[in-house]
Amino acid sequence: MSELIDISPLVSSELAVWPGDVPFSRKVSLDVEEADNITLSSIEATVHLGAHTDAPNHYTKGHIGIAARDLNYYYGPCQVVEVDLPRGERILPSHMQDPVVAPRVLFKTKSYPDPNVFNDDFNALSAELVEFLHAGGVRLVGIDTPSIDLSADKVLESHQAVASHDMAILEGIVLNEVDAGCYTLIALPLKLAGADASPVRAVLVTSCEPKSY
């Protein structure tokens, strides 16, 4: 029997966002607990909230928003790769101990341990790694940190490498309790018109078909 593993952080007012971005808040307009006949509420937050997918227009001028993205990027065979690097370093191809066996690769770095506390010394991908993964048939890269680039990188070298190959990005996932190996990823973005990203409920299914790409 396959199992679902939730790799999304809890979205609440405590969830950390990028410094200067809009944190999550929820306003209740009607509440059954207060004798209303229904509960209605609204939310305000960055679209780069918790587990989220970046759209090409987030990092490249003139490109499409998240609503126009092909959903096939975000569903299918996936490989979780664990690396052990000093904080604040980029992952290079040489840090990968296992061969690429799926078209979606998620990196478990353990460098951003608490989604409610923003630490800026997390690990990130390198442009060299993105090029290496693309050459191996990878369509989506993901990481258990707020960004595939280092916090101080204004050029966004890994985002730009992704853009050059029309790959997809999944950030902010939680892999603390996930073993390295092969899974099926489900992380579908919302159909938000023109948006530069979308929060997702990212899950792994404990079954996949390696080399199915």
Beta pairing class for 104-108 and 124-125: unpaired
Residue 29's H or E segment, with its range, is strand 25-30
Question: For 35, phi and psi rounded to 5 degrees?
Answer: 80, 10
Diameter over CA atoms, the chain: 61
Any catalytic annotation for residue 58? yes
Q: Looking at 48, 58, 95, 159, which residue is catalytic?
A: 58
Residue 189 CA to residue 200 CA, distance in Å, equals: 5
Residue 81 CA to residue 67 CA, distance in Å, equals: 28
List the end-to-end C-alpha distance of the chain, in Å, as a whole number: 24
Q: Please give the positions annotated as active site.
A: 58
